[in-house]
Amino acid sequence: MSIALPVAQLVIFCLLFIPNKYCLFWHGVPGFLAWFHVGAFLLIRIIGCGLQIGEDGNPGDKGVLIVNNIGLSPMLLAAFGILHEARIARASTVLGSKIEWVFIFLYYLTVGVGTGLIASGISNLAGDNPDESDRTIVKVGFAIMLACWFTLTSLALTSLRPRYPSADAAAGYADGTKLLYAVLISIPLICLRGIYGVVAVLDPSWGFSTSLAAEVCLSVVPSLLTAVIFVVTGVLTWRINIKSKYGRSGLHCRRNVVV
C-alpha cells in the first residue's frame, strides 16, 4: 500500500500539535485534561503514521494495529476532557466538585483498562500462537470502550440543557457551548473509528486492515476531522479561562492579555 496517505497524515498531525500546545497553555487548569489528551492523541497518531511508513504503508502490521487502536482511548479521553471544560464554563459543574472528580477518575481508569485489554489481545493475536481467549480479551476491551463512548454521549447530551448564568459567568458561557458542540460532532466520528478497529482486528477476513477505502473512510477521515475540530475549537476559545475567571466586568482590566 502507498505510503502517501500516512505521510500526509503525519504532516497534518504534526502541524496540529503546535497550536495544541498553545491551547494547553491558555486554557489553564480547567482545560488541562482536555488539551493534554488531545496532544496525546496527536502524538499517538504521529507514532502510528511513522510506523506505517516504516512498514511501507501497511496498516495491518502488528505494531501499527496496536498503536492505532490504542489511539482510540485518547480520542475518548480528549473528548471527555473538553466536555468537562465546557461544563465548567457553562456552570454545569464546579471544578472542585468531589463527585465530578471521582467520576472523571473512574472514567479514565475504565478507558485505561479497556485500552490495556485491547493492546494485550492484539499483541497475542498477532503472535505465533494466537488463542480464542485472546479474541475474547479484545472483545471485552472494545466492549468497555463502547460503554465509555455511551457514557460520553449521554453526558454530552444532558449537558445541552440551557443554563442561565449571571452576567459575569456568561462571559465564558458562549465559548463553553462551542466546546460542547465540538464534543457532540466528534461523537459519531469516534464511533466510526471504533467500528474500524473492531472489524479490522476481530474479522480480518473482511479485508479492512488492508483496504485503502475502508482505512480512509473509517479511520483516516474520522481521526483527522476529530483532531482538526478539537484543535480549531480550542484556538477559537483560547480566552475561555480568562473570561470565566474575570467575567465581563473584569475583561477591560485584562485587555492587554486577551486582545
pTM of the prediction?
A: 0.86
Q: Which of 31, 22, 38, 27 is nearest to 79 (CA)?
A: 38
Q: Which of 166, 157, 145 is nearest to 86 (CA)?
A: 157
Q: Report which DSSP code applies to 93.
A: S
Q: For the chain, what's the residue count?
A: 259
* CATH label, 4-258, candidates 1.10.530, 3.40.50, 1.20.1070, 1.10.287: 1.20.1070
The answer to whether residues 80 and 152 touch, using CB atoms and an 8 Å cutoff, is yes
* pLDDT single digits (tens) 196-228: 888 877 776 666 656 778 788 888 899 999 999
What gap in Å lies between CA 169 and CA 173, rounded to an integer?
7
Q: Report which DSSP code applies to 1.
A: -
For residue 134, the number of C-alpha atoms closer than 13 Å in the C-beta half-sphere is 15
* pLDDT single digits (tens) 127-183: 667 788 888 998 999 999 999 999 999 999 998 887 655 555 566 888 999 999 999
The answer to whether residues 182 and 235 touch, using CB atoms and an 8 Å cutoff, is no
* Mean pLDDT of the chain, nearest integer: 82
Distance of CA 112 to the CA centre of its chain: 13
